[in-house]
Amino acid sequence: MAASGCRGVRSILWKYGSYGKNLFVSRSKMVPQVKCFLIFKNLAAAGPQKFTQEFIDKQVEEFEVGKRHLANMMGEDPETFTQEDIDRSIAYLFPSGLFEKRARPVMKHPEEIFPKQTAIQWDAEGRPFHFLFYTGKQSYYSLLHDVYEKILAIERHQDKMRNKGLFTSDTKQILLTGSRWLLKEEIEENLVENISVQDYMRLIQLMELLLSMPYCSLEEEFILKFRKQLEVQSSKYEIPALQYDPQGVAFSFADGRRKSAKASITLRDSGSGNITINGRNYLYYFPVLQNREQLMFPLLFVGMSGRFDIEGSVEGSGHSAQAGALRLAISRALLSFVSEGEVEKMRQAGLLTADPRIRERKKPGQEGARKKFTWKKR
Partner 1 sequence: MNLHKLTSRLCPKATQKFRHLHIQSSGQQLEAVAVETASAEANPLSVFRTSERDPTYHSEGHSGQYYTLPPTHIQKLFPYGLPPRFQLQIKTFNEGCVMVRPPALELISYLKRADYSKPPLRYVLYGDIGTGKTMSLCHALHYCYSQGWLIVHVPDAHLWVKNCKELLPSSSRPSRFDQPIQASQWLKNFKITNERFLSKLKTTQRYVWTKRESTEKGQPLGELIDQGVNRMKSSSDVVGAVLRELRLQAGGATEGEGAFKLAVAVDGVNALWGKTSLKKEDRTMPEELTLIHNLRKMMKNNWSGGAILTALSQTGSVFKPRSAYLPSELLGEEGFDNMEPFVPVSVSNYNEKEFESCYLYYLDRNWLQHPHSRSEEGKKELIFLSNKNPSILERLCAFL
Nearer to partner 1 by Cβ, of 85 and 269: the residue is 269
Q: How far is the CB of 283 from partner 1 (least distance, A)?
A: 4
Of 275, 322, 318, 263, which is closest to residue 299 (Cα–Cα)? 275
Burial class (CB in 10 A: 0-12, 13-18, 19+), 214: middle
Report CA Rg, the chain: 32
How many other C-beta atoms can be found within 10 angstroms of the C-beta atom of residue 327?
23
- Residue closer to partner 1 by CB (options 234, 270) is 270
Please, which residue, 222 or 297, has the CB nearer to partner 1? 297
- CB closer to partner 1 out of 50 and 292: 292
Find the shortest distance in angstroms from Cβ 333 to partner 1: 17
CB 312, min distance to partner 1, A: 15
CB 86, min distance to partner 1, A? 53
Closest separation in Å from C-beta 94 to partner 1: 52
Indicate the SS3 state at residue 221.
helix
Give residues in contact with partner 1 (CB under 8 A): 273, 280-284, 289, 292-293, 296, 299-300, 305-306
- H or E stretch including 264? strand 261-268
- What does residue 102 show for φ and ψ, rounded to 5 degrees? -75, -10
Q: How far apart are CA 344 and CA 348, in angstroms?
A: 6
Helix, strand and coil percent figures for the chain, each rounded to 5: 50, 10, 40
Chain centroid to Cα 368, Å, comes to 31
Answer for the pair 320, 291: CB distance below 8 angstroms, yes or no. Answer: yes
Rounded to 5 degrees, φ, ψ at 205 are -60, -45
CB nearer partner 1, residue 157 or residue 292: 292
Helix/strand number for the chain, H first, E second: 14, 8
Closest Cα partner for 250 from 173, 136, 333?
333
What residues contact residue 180 under an 8 Å CB cut-off, 6+ apart? 227, 228, 230
Q: How far apart are CA 303 and CA 297, in angstroms?
A: 10
Q: What is the largest distance, in Å, between two alpha-carbon atoms of the chain? A: 97
C-beta closer to partner 1: residue 72 or 274: 274
Q: Which is nearer to partner 1, 121 or 274 (CB)?
A: 274
Closest to partner 1 by CB, 273 or 350: 273
Angle in degrees, CA 151, 155, 156, rounded to 5: 120
Q: Minimum distance from CB of 206 to partner 1 (Å)?
A: 52
| 174 vs 296, beta carbon nearer partner 1 | 296
Q: How far is the CB of 290 from partner 1 (least distance, A)?
A: 10
Task: Provide the minimum distance between the beta carbon of 197 and partner 1 in the complex, in angstroms, as a whole number.
Answer: 47
CB of 288: closest distance to partner 1 in angstroms?
11
